[in-house]
Structure 1
């Protein structure tokens, strides 16, 4: 799963249109504030949809978002 985080974070950082996603991922992984991340992942561009869906599922499984 960590590899998926890395891929999504890299894609978010490398695309200026995904600045909001990049900032939200940083807030989630560094500060533990993941609630806003789910909403931003839902708006992620089509290239990130599969990874975003996987991350959302993982957040639910590990109780990061209720």
Structure 2
């Protein structure tokens, strides 16, 4: 499965936002308060509910 398909699957399963490097708001979303750590994660999942957290915790 490609990353694009995996992100689409995650997006359809979550109430919150799923942001990948190709997303137009990726650079803004990935900013952290400590600029010494400039990370570029493959995906950023912004959980919107307890159900989002539980689903992902069980998937791991």
Q: Which TM-score tier does this pair reach, normalised by the shorter chain? A: 0.3 to 0.5
Structure ranking higher in strand proportion? 2
The structure where helix makes up a greater share of residues is 1
Bigger Rg over Cα: 2
Q: Work out which structure has the larger RCO, using CA pairs closer than 8 Å and 6 or more positions apart in sequence.
A: 2
